[in-house]
Structure 1
Amino acid sequence: MADNKEQEQAQEEEKEAGGNKKLIVFIVIALLLIGISIGVTIFLMMGGDEESTETEQPTEPVKQPAVYQSLDPPFVIDFNVSGRQRFLQVNLTVMGRDAEALEGLKKHMPLIRNNLVLLIGGFEYQSLQTEEGKEKLRESITKSIQEVLEKEIGKPGIEQVLFTNFVMQ
């Protein structure tokens, strides 16, 4: 009987030791899982910050839509060609992307129109009959308007001038 008691005590001690080992393994596994979940969370949060900083910085500036402003009424310029009176009627439209500059264009329209009448009248009538002459006139008009706007509002304001009607008689 003494042997049976000793065997029972040994079995109980083994059960207690086995139970303690199971508890230690369970705790270690739980700590590992918690550590892994914290690590993954931190990694994902840091990765999210990098993506958001990349999307916040635009790769190139956004181009504003073109806005057109007609210079009404049409310009009518007279030319004296070999003793005969000739006329040019031209409708102009300016293209820009800055609303403030187009407001400046409207505000300074009398000065701009005066400069353009003098500029167009200074061209040779025959040169305006060629494609090159018309292109040179268009570039000169664009430059003249940009100079006025640069002086008055501090920026050129328009990109180009377009002929919407060009009649020579």
Structure 2
Amino acid sequence: MKNKAERENTENKKGGVKWGLIIVLVVVLAFAASAAGTMLTGKYFSKDDNTAGNETEAKTTAISSKQRLVSVDKFVVNLANDGNSDPQYLRIKVSLLVPDGDDAKDIKKHMPLIRDSMIRVLKPKKAADLLKDDGSIDQIKTQVKDALNKDYGHSVVQEVYVTDFVIQ
């Protein structure tokens, strides 16, 4: 009788070991399939998305290796008011795109002229003018660029980028 009972125990243990191996094998295969799927997805699908994103970025970012950005420290401008409201202020910080390093040095050297030109453009504006729609900031940027180039004597500023804009 011991032999028959021992044989049944041995067979049960072997059956349990078999199921344990099968479960471990299924888990390992599932993990491997998941990893392979992730790698293939990243290789074939993300490549197209990244390429499209880089092309879009290249189209919108037209700054060449010679061009330089010159940062103008943030400053506060008193805005015009209607007389009915409290005074309002604009805190603004911009960066100017110039053709090359020599122009960047000139701009930095003549920063008081730059700030004066910007103040003269911004001071007559009302807060409502600056906030009325999405295109109002673009109009201000164009007006600032035109005023800077006029006051500077020639076209040195190619683009104005607003990096900080707060109205209080």
Same fold per superposition (TM over 0.5): yes
Higher Cα Rg, which structure:
1
* 1-structure distance, mates of 2:158, 2:69: 10
Q: Which has the higher strand share?
A: 1
* 2-structure distance, mates of 1:147, 1:101: 15
Matched ranges for 1:5-84 at <5 A: 64-72=65-73, 74-79=74-79, 80-81=81-82, 82-84=84-86
Structure 1: which 5+ runs fail to align?
1-62
The residue type paired with residue 159 of structure 1 is Q
Pick aligned residue for 1:94 from 93, 96, 110: 96
Q: Tell me the residue number matched to 1:116.
A: 118
* 2-structure distance, mates of 1:131, 1:90: 17
Provide TM-score, normalisation by structure 2.
Answer: 0.55
The residue type paired with residue 161 of structure 1 is V
Q: Tell me the residue number matched to 1:137.
A: 140
Q: What is the CA deviation profile of residues 3-58 of structure 1, one whole-angstrom value per residue up to 9, with x for unaligned ones? A: xxxxxxxxxxxxxxxxxxxxxxxxxxxxxxxxxxxxxxxxxxxxxxxxxxxxxxxx
* 2-structure distance, mates of 1:91, 1:70: 8
Shift of 1:66: 3.0
Q: What is the CA deviation profile of residues 110-143 of structure 1, one whole-angstrom value per residue up to 9, with x for unaligned ones? A: 1221121121011222010022221111101111
CA-based RMSD of the aligned residues comes to 1.7
* 2-structure distance, mates of 1:148, 1:118: 11
Structure 2: which 5+ runs fail to align?
1-63
Percent identity between the two aligned chains: 21
Does the 8 Å contact 1:78/1:85 carry over to 2? yes
Does the 8 Å contact 1:75/1:117 carry over to 2? no
Does the 8 Å contact 1:64/1:97 carry over to 2? no
Does the 8 Å contact 2:78/2:89 carry over to 1? yes
Inter-CA distance 148–100: structure 2 relative to 1 (3 Å threshold): farther
The residue type paired with residue 141 of structure 2 is R
* 1-structure distance, mates of 2:159, 2:139: 13
**How many residues are matched?**
102
Does the 8 Å contact 1:98/1:157 carry over to 2? no
Q: Tell me the residue number matched to 2:13.
A: none
